[in-house]
A and B are shown apart, each in its own frame.
Chain A
Amino acid sequence: MKVKAKVKNDKVKVKLLVKHPMDTGLQKDKNSGDLIPVKYIHELSCVHDGKTVFLASFGRAVSKDPYLAFSFSGGKKGDTLSLKWVDSMGDTEEFEAVIK
């Protein structure tokens, strides 16, 4: 996961890119010809200071390597953001980013 979190005008602007294939189940493997099974992120959350500041739920239409941008108030430079996603197969990733 790549995260950019910056304070601007009293708000924290967050931009992130998650590395994830977001397989729709419609694509075929180039070598075997078999359908690649569905595997896509269901939810992604962002927590700051114990509070969920953003929660995204995805369908299969979200692009591979999902990108998100959102803003919230109450954060300051140096604070930590905790990000986490869970996908349709139960796989998960947690990531911490520092607000700049």
Chain B
Amino acid sequence: MKRKTYFTLAIAISMSVMTPSFADPVSDNETVRTYFADIFPELALESYVDGAYAIDKNGRDQWLQIEEFPPYDDAIDNGEELFDIAFANGKSYASCFDNEGIAIKQNYPYFDTEKNQVVTLELAINECRIKNGEQPLAYGKGPLAYLSAYMASTSRGELINVIVPDNAGAQAAYEEGKKFFYARRGQLNMACATCHMASAGKRLRADILSPALGHVSHFPAFRAKWDDVGTIQRRYAGCNMQIRSKPFKLQSEQYRNLEYFHTYMSNGLPLNGPGTRK
């Protein structure tokens, strides 16, 4: 079946049940994985976490060379230092998280049924700070990104395990995220799916478009463009700006729901962040 036809059909099927509270994440994932297996028959499921470097040999070679001295190493070290500093009240980040915050990123985002909202790792870090009388950190880059980078590094190899419980709020949040992913926006009138589903593996000028499957695994990421480590939502904002769509605030409900859906899509894949990208 032609790629575009299959894609349209797949979306039509998955969007056909429009009742917000009914979500079927499991079959969404099946649809997506079948779709990509069709386009990249040689690609093993775990390889998707390497993004465009799983598909593009030219980029992969250069990436492996750069990884000899990973550009995110400083961010991990900074993050670890920050993580180990106690708050003014004597408590530490470790006290806010399961397993003292080590090897837990695979469980994020999760849906907080009490507060009725999606909680990302970055949101949880700031909630920890606020709970302990500290000022929240700016999202996207800097100390918060470094903390996230450290926590991601301790979680390497863990299999992504986002849960969408049988709860109306959670299902609605997942569906909102999914709608965002597939909805066209901005002056260029493109959806996340336009590039990362329909055109995955194809070129956008000199760039190879990465498949949405495996996208989140290597975040926060050191991007050559930023010359720094940044979070996935920093990338969402950037992507939105690039299609001339006004970006949402980092950790807004829209981006948290998107991250919830986007991460669920990669359930079962191993975390490999922080990573290095263009």
Contact = CB atoms under 8 A, between A and B. Distances in A.
**Do A and B come into direct contact in the complex, CB within 8 Å?**
yes
Interface of A: 2, 15, 17, 67
Q: How large is the interface on B (under 10, 10 to 19, 20 to 34, 35 or more residues)?
A: under 10
Contacts of B68: 15, 67
B276 to A, nearest CB: 13
A54 B69 CA distance: 20
Interface string B68-92: 1100000000000000000000000
Question: What DSSP secondary structure best describes chain A's contact surface?
Answer: strand
Contacts of A2: 69
A67 B69 CA distance: 9
A9 B179 CA distance: 57
Contacts of B69: 2, 15, 17, 67
Nearest to B227: A64
B204 to A, nearest CB: 25
A4 B68 CA distance: 10
6 contacts: A2-B69, A15-B68, A15-B69, A17-B69, A67-B68, A67-B69
Interface in B61-113: 68-69
Contacts of A67: 68-69
Contacts of A17: 69
Nearest to A3: B69
Interface string B191-229: 000000000000000000000000000000000000000
Q: What 6 pairs across the A-B complex have the smallest Cβ distances?
A: A17-B69, A2-B69, A15-B68, A67-B69, A67-B68, A15-B69
A2 B69 CA distance: 8
A73 B36 CA distance: 49
Nearest to B65: A67
B115 to A, nearest CB: 38
A73 to B, nearest CB: 22
A27 B175 CA distance: 45
B95 to A, nearest CB: 33
A15 B66 CA distance: 12
A17 B68 CA distance: 9
A2 B74 CA distance: 12
